[in-house]
Amino acid sequence: MQKGLTKIQQDILDYVIELRSKSLIPTLAEIAKHFGYKNRSTVQQHLQSIEKKGFIKRNPKISGGIELTFDNNYFIPRPVLGEVAAGNPLTIYPDSIDTVDLPTIAHVPNDSFLLKVKGDSLKDAYIFTGDIVIVNPNLQAENGQFVVAVLDNEAVVKRLVKKKDVIELHSENPEYEPIIIESTHPNFQLVGVVIGVYRTMAKKVG
Amino acid sequence: MQKGLTKIQQDILDYVIELRSKSLIPTLAEIAKHFGYKNRSTVQQHLQSIEKKGFIKRNPKISGGIELTFDNNYFIPRPVLGEVAAGNPLTIYPDSIDTVDLPTIAHVPNDSFLLKVKGDSLKDAYIFTGDIVIVNPNLQAENGQFVVAVLDNEAVVKRLVKKKDVIELHSENPEYEPIIIESTHPNFQLVGVVIGVYRTMAKKVG
DNA sequence: AATTGCACCATACAAATGTATGGTATTTAT
DNA sequence: ATAAATACCATACATTTGTATGGTGCAATT
């Protein structure tokens, strides 16, 4: 239980957080129904109490629901848009999510998106097959950063090394040679900068 | 552009998807305003067209907004990382290896929460200081999984090894000895199972 | 004994919601 | 040339929205 919140207030806050993690914004009536209240105003007053205690703030009337701005912003759910190759470039399959959604990136500025990694060329950076990289398409890619790039219709994640006249895409695995991009390369496009890695833990019995 | 959708229909669909990736559910009026329409019904009819073409389905009146159920071509934003409650100060246990920053445990939201890792005892599992582990408190901990436990007011991340009469908490670093918990241990409590790892990428110039 | 906080209900109201219906102009297809 | 689809506007309507206000019962302080 959080300091200062009563159990019921905490329950309501938890419920709102839970729904938000599913990309849903509950209304007062929905919260009331879930907790068995006959009236919305009960929830309303609880939310006012929670707000008064400083645990949330409310942006009035956004999207018709309740906009909660938490003091402590952790993560909000984001869509996984596709897969990228860490080793040999991954061919984008025409009917998979990749093809559809990689161009969609241009339409989704302002926040990051997620891509699933295949291949082991980044294993020395502790990025493995199945990992999910968080990519920000709006950041300026700096030397040494991991980036996602499209090369001849193939999406790859590599470390960016800028040199005089060329751009090199390095693996973190000595088995792979760097990819050298001449500035005149027609089908090269930087998609974004890798700002994080997420990995689901495999069950490992031992 | 998707097959069968006009450019405007595609733009509207993209806009809805973009907002959903930010945990926002737009109303007809908001969409209309964004596209410069003077009337909601224009958007309404476009959504009807998109629905008629099978790209979305609408669940009537959930959360006051528009509920879109996509057809596979797009990804529904899902709670990849989970959320933790807001505003509560973290209790920090500074001086032991592989500690975690632990929010007040008594309050656990229904889905997972995030913990920050300190120490290097899990380095062979590629979990390092600064990494954030995603913990699900509702899963049954199985043998071999990474778990978060509280031991004498210290929170630790370890690999769980169940034996006949005792529970052992193993590090993934040979420098550290396993911790052996007798079943009668008074101050031992399992908090949850580590289901994921998140790491922010440090800028690494080379 | 009086007060305060908590949990809940009921009612009222302006504003916003999704939906329906009818209309106009342009483009595309037959 | 006619029909159909597209793109947009306007108006109307029942519901739902968040908010405000007032009230009841209860527990804990003061």
| pLDDT computed for residue A7 by the predictor | 83
Lowest mean pLDDT among A158-162, A165-169, A190-194, B82-86: B82-86
| pLDDT computed for residue A117 by the predictor | 67
Nearest-CA distance from B84 to chain A in Å?
A: 7
User: Any atom of strand D under 7 A from CB of A66?
Assistant: yes
Selecting from A63, A195, A197 the residue whose C-beta is nearest the C-beta of B65 gives A63
Would you say residue B115 lies in a domain?
yes
All residues of chain B having their beta carbon less than 8 Å from the beta carbon of residue A194 are 201
Selecting from B107, B111, B145 the residue whose C-beta is nearest the C-beta of A18 gives B111
Q: Which residue has the higher pLDDT, B128 or A147?
A: A147
For residue A34, give the CATH number of its domain.
1.10.10.10
All residues of chain B having their beta carbon less than 8 Å from the beta carbon of residue A142 are 203, 205
Lowest mean pLDDT among A51-65, A76-90, B31-45: A76-90
Would you say residue A2 lies in a domain?
no
Would you say residue A103 lies in a domain?
yes
| pLDDT computed for residue A37 by the predictor | 92
| pLDDT computed for residue A95 by the predictor | 22
Do B58 and B123 lie in one domain? The reply is no
Q: How many angstroms is C1' of D8 away from CA of B7?
A: 15
When pLDDT is averaged across residues B26-35 and rounded to a whole number, the result is 88
Q: Which A residues 52-111 have CB within 7 Å of strand C?
A: 61, 64
Nearest-CA distance from B95 to chain A in Å?
A: 25
For residue A108, give the CATH number of its domain.
2.10.109.10
* Residue appearing with tokens 């209240």: A37
With beta carbons less than 8 A apart as the criterion, state whether A188 and A147 touch: no
Do A100 and A37 lie in one domain? The reply is no
Do A28 and A112 lie in one domain? The reply is no
**CA–CA gap between residue A92 and residue A103 (Å, rounded):** 12
| pLDDT computed for residue B23 by the predictor | 57
Do A63 and A158 lie in one domain? The reply is no
Q: Among residues of chain B, what percentage have pLDDT more than 70?
A: 43
Q: Is A162 a catalytic residue?
A: no
| pLDDT computed for residue B185 by the predictor | 64
| pLDDT computed for residue A183 by the predictor | 63
Do A96 and A193 lie in one domain? The reply is yes
Would you say residue A206 lies in a domain?
no
Lowest mean pLDDT among A132-146, A148-162, A185-199, B100-114: B100-114
Do A112 and A172 lie in one domain? The reply is yes
End position of a domain, from candidates B50, B68, B86 = B68
What residue of B is the nearest CA neighbor of A8?
A: B107
Q: Which residue has the higher pLDDT, A88 or A67?
A: A67
Do A115 and A153 lie in one domain? The reply is yes
For residue B171, is pLDDT > 60?
Answer: yes
* Residue appearing with tokens 């695995």: A173
For residue B121, is pLDDT > 80?
Answer: no
Do B177 and B112 lie in one domain? The reply is yes
CA torsion sign for B42, A78, A153, A166 is positive
Would you say residue B41 lies in a domain?
yes
For residue B71, is pLDDT > 60?
Answer: no
D strand bases under 7 Å from protein CB: 6-12, 16-22
What residue of A is the nearest CA neighbor of B170?
A: A206
When pLDDT is averaged across residues A83-96 and rounded to a whole number, the result is 37
Do A136 and A52 lie in one domain? The reply is no
| pLDDT computed for residue A121 by the predictor | 58
**CA–CA gap between residue B81 and residue B79 (Å, rounded):** 6
Do B114 and B182 lie in one domain? The reply is yes
User: Any atom of strand C under 7 A from CB of B100?
Assistant: no
pLDDT in tens, A45-77: 888 888 877 667 776 655 555 666 554 333 333
Phi/psi for A24 (5° steps) reads: -120, 145
Q: Among residues of chain B, what percentage have pLDDT more than 90?
A: 2
Please give the radius of gyration of chain B, using alpha carbons only, rounded to the nearest integer.
24
Would you say residue B165 lies in a domain?
yes
| Residue ranges of A 162-191 with Cβ closer than 8 A to chain B | none
Would you say residue A55 lies in a domain?
yes
Q: Which residue has the higher pLDDT, B85 or A133?
A: A133
Contact A2 B85 (CB under 8 A): yes
Q: Which of B75, B91, B110 has the highest number of chain A CBs within 10 A, making it the mutation to test binding with A?
A: B75
A93 — pLDDT class (breaks 50, 70, 90) = very low
Q: Is A7 a catalytic residue?
A: no
Do B113 and B31 lie in one domain? The reply is no
Q: Which residue has the higher pLDDT, A67 or A190?
A: A190
Do A100 and A186 lie in one domain? The reply is yes
Mean pLDDT of chain A: 63
Phi/psi for A200 (5° steps) reads: -85, 140
| Residue ranges of B 61-120 with Cβ closer than 8 A to chain A | 62-65, 73-89, 104, 106-107, 109-111, 114
Nearest-CA distance from A149 to chain B in Å?
A: 17
Would you say residue A1 lies in a domain?
no
What residue of A is the nearest CA neighbor of B143?
A: A205
| pLDDT computed for residue B21 by the predictor | 54
| pLDDT computed for residue A119 by the predictor | 65
C strand bases under 7 Å from protein CB: 6-12, 16-22
| Residue ranges of B 129-158 with Cβ closer than 8 A to chain A | 142-146
Long-range contacts (CB closer than 8 Å, 24 or more residues apart) made by A118-121 = A118/A83, A118/A84, A118/A85, A118/A86, A118/A87, A118/A90, A119/A85, A119/A86, A119/A87, A119/A88, A119/A90, A120/A86, A120/A87, A120/A173, A121/A85, A121/A86, A121/A87, A121/A88, A121/A158, A121/A171, A121/A172, A121/A173, A121/A175, A121/A176
pLDDT in tens, A7-42: 888 788 778 866 765 556 788 888 899 999 999 989
Integer angstrom CA distances of residue A146 from A6, A82, B201, B203 = 45, 17, 8, 9
State the number of CA atoms in the 13 A half-sphere of A66 facing the CB.
23
Give how many domains chain B has, as a whole number.
2
Q: Which of B70, B88, B108, B171 has the highest number of chain A CBs within 10 A, making it the mutation to test binding with A?
A: B88
The residue range of the domain holding B182 is: 100-198
Q: Among residues of chain A, what percentage have pLDDT more than 90?
A: 3
Contact B82 A21 (CB under 8 A): yes
B101 — pLDDT class (breaks 50, 70, 90) = very low
